[in-house]
Amino acid sequence: MKKVILSVAILAAMGFTSCKNEAKEETVTTSNEVSKEMALVDVAFGVRGNCGMCKSTIEKAANGVEGVSKATWDVDKKNVEVSFDGTKTDVLSIHNAIAASGYDTEKVAGSEEAYKDLPGCCKYDHEMEMNIE
């Protein structure tokens, strides 16, 4: 009787182990398929702002858009460089997200309500030059 129970336990353990390996292989295959479909796009465009707090808010807004993998705003040049998956978003969506946080981009004016809530150091001149690339 002990041999039968032991045999059943071993067979069950082998069954569970083989299921786990199949699941891992399927996950890897899915990941490879996703990376093949990804269309990475790099863009740079002007965004008005003043300081490090502006940098944080602008980058957070851009990175909050689904598909954006990286956003870096340059305080001196007044532009943002963004890398994103073109199958998940587009440039105008990123402009709109930054504008919704209160900052003017070269294509979309910032939200006046959000601008009013920005800290004093972040209240930029709406006529300031942006480095449009």
Residues 82, 45 share a domain = yes
Query: What integer pLDDT is reported at residue 124 of this predicted model?
Result: 94
Query: What integer pLDDT is reported at residue 24 of this predicted model?
Result: 37
Residues 68, 112 share a domain = yes
Query: What integer pLDDT is reported at residue 21 of this predicted model?
Result: 41
Neighbours of 13 (CB within 10 A): 10
Nearest to 95 by CA among 131, 62, 53, 127: 62
CB 94 within 8 A of CB 70: no
Give the residue ranges of the chain where pLDDT is below 50: 18-35
Cα-based distances in Å from 113 to 5, 46, 71, 100:
71, 21, 24, 9
Query: What integer pLDDT is reported at residue 1 of this predicted model?
Result: 67
Print the domain residue range for 17: 1-37
Residues 61, 88 share a domain = yes
Query: What integer pLDDT is reported at residue 130 of this predicted model?
Result: 84
Residues 44, 31 share a domain = no
Hey, what are 91's tokens? 């440039």
Q: Which helix (H) or strand (E) holds 24?
A: helix 2-37
Within a domain: residue 132? Answer: no
Provide the whole-model pTM: 0.71
Neighbours of 97 (CB within 10 A): 22
Structural domain count of the chain: 2
